[in-house]
Amino acid sequence: MKSGGLVGGDADATPNETHLNARHVCFLDLDRITFELGRFKAERGWYNLNLTRRGIEELLADQSWYRLQIPAEELAFDSFEKVRLWDEIAVSLLKKYTERYYRFRKRDWELPHLEYRDLEGDDPNFLCVKESSEEGYYRVLIDRSQEEIVAKLGELKTSIEKGDLKPWEFRGMKAIWFGKHLYQPLLYLDSNIVEISPAPLNKGERQFVEDLKAFHGGNADFFKTRDLYLLRNLSKGRGVGFFEAGNFHPDFILWLLADGQQQVIFVDPKGIRNIGWDDPKIRFCETVKEIEQRLRDPDVHLQSYIVSNTSSATMRMLWSKDKDEMLKRNVLFQEEDRDSYVRSMLDVAGNGGAAQ
């Protein structure tokens, strides 16, 4: 930002890009780093991954696998206080490398076993599936003293049991009814008055469902020859995830069926301010096509979209990419293109994934 009338200062600043060299590594506590990485892998249950101090030392000596953007003075040899920072940088880099390496090897092992499966009624993504002795419906935790909220939730429960799909909203909670979602309702929460499990929709997810519902209701001609289905994809352990994209679990799975062809579209509404241009989630639109090629079913096509609630103007400054380049990577903008982004997604899918 600058005051009106001022000239200059518009040039992009280029971050200083460098690496930890052998002199920096000499100051690192490699024993502590080895134990920290051992704790990191144990937390994730990666018991078949072996880490050695020698392997870590060799990895730090190799500068080809990372880029470090940091002011040059932070790596200057003028104070022992900076060693703590170098240690944190090394641990952070090695954790990311370890995670990528493990997922890469796991993907290689899983590739020959990938296949399409029909969505069955006992899929863990359905809330009616029994997980233990209790039925897997929404669970709402609330203090019994809040009688008004308890009473309103009782009304919602009665409506669900009767199939009475009437609007329901109360103090930041909302039930969203959409007949094309494979179960109803979806719950949205924008306050902390209760705890809901599975996690309720956030604002961007709720907006996507409402935008899709509005498009479906207002475009009868489009859906004369197409069938649409939507399912919220639950998180790790229950939903569909992709190790190829850093264990990415897209928020929604959308099916568009026409002329014997099935388009399976993974949709993830989110803020992307803190995601890099080459992040596996952003590049998943390419990865998912590679998966499609490996599975070799001519009647099934895979697509992936990020629905961003961060503006394209903000991302243009952060990524140094124009909006057309973002759209080519299937990044759609929820707020600024509210009237068109759903059609853009479904038009491409409806044409076998070919861009218009």
Max Cα distance, the chain (Å): 73
How many other C-beta atoms can be found within 10 angstroms of the C-beta atom of residue 58?
Answer: 10
What does the pLDDT look like over 187-203, one tens digit per residue? Answer: 898 877 788 878 889 99
For residues 128 and 168, the model is more confident at: 168
Both tokens of 75, joined, read: 């790596």
Note the pLDDT of residue 354: 45
Reduced 3-state DSSP string for 282-316: CCHHHHHHHHHHHHCCCCEEEEEEEEECCCHHHHH
Average pLDDT over residues 100-122: 81
- Cα distance between residue 229 and residue 272, in whole Å: 26
State the residue for tokens 């197409």.
226
Average pLDDT over residues 284-309: 93
Contacts 24+ apart (CB under 8 A), 280-285: 280/244, 280/245, 280/246, 280/248, 281/245, 281/246, 281/248, 281/306, 282/306, 282/329, 282/331, 283/245, 283/329, 284/242, 284/244, 284/245, 284/248, 284/250, 285/329, 285/330
Q: How confident is residue 133, by pLDDT bands cut at 50, 70 and 90?
A: very low
- Cα distance between residue 82 and residue 73, in whole Å: 10
Residue type, 287: T
CB under 8 Å to 224, separation ≥6 — which residues?
A: none
What does the pLDDT look like over 206-228, one tens digit per residue? Answer: 999 999 999 999 999 999 999 99
Is the pLDDT at 229 greater than 80? The verdict is yes
The mean of the pLDDT values for the chain is 86
Sign, CA dihedral 46-49-52-57, equals negative
CA dihedral 44, 123, 207, 211 (to 10 degrees): 140
Helix (H) or strand (E) holding 348: helix 341-350
Note the pLDDT of residue 132: 39
Q: Do 280 and 329 meet the contact criterion of CB atoms below 8 Å apart?
A: no
Both tokens of 89, joined, read: 């940088």
Among the ranges given (143-147, 227-231, 239-243, 244-248), the one the predictor scored with the smallest mean pLDDT: 244-248
Note the pLDDT of residue 89: 96
Note the pLDDT of residue 237: 59
CA distance readout (Å), 209 to 136, 161, 276: 22, 22, 26
How many other C-beta atoms can be found within 10 angstroms of the C-beta atom of residue 20?
Answer: 20
Residue type, 126: F
For residues 124 and 338, the model is more confident at: 338
CB under 8 Å to 93, separation ≥6 — which residues?
A: 66, 68
- Cα distance between residue 18 and residue 25, in whole Å: 14
Domain positions in the chain: 17-113, 139-350
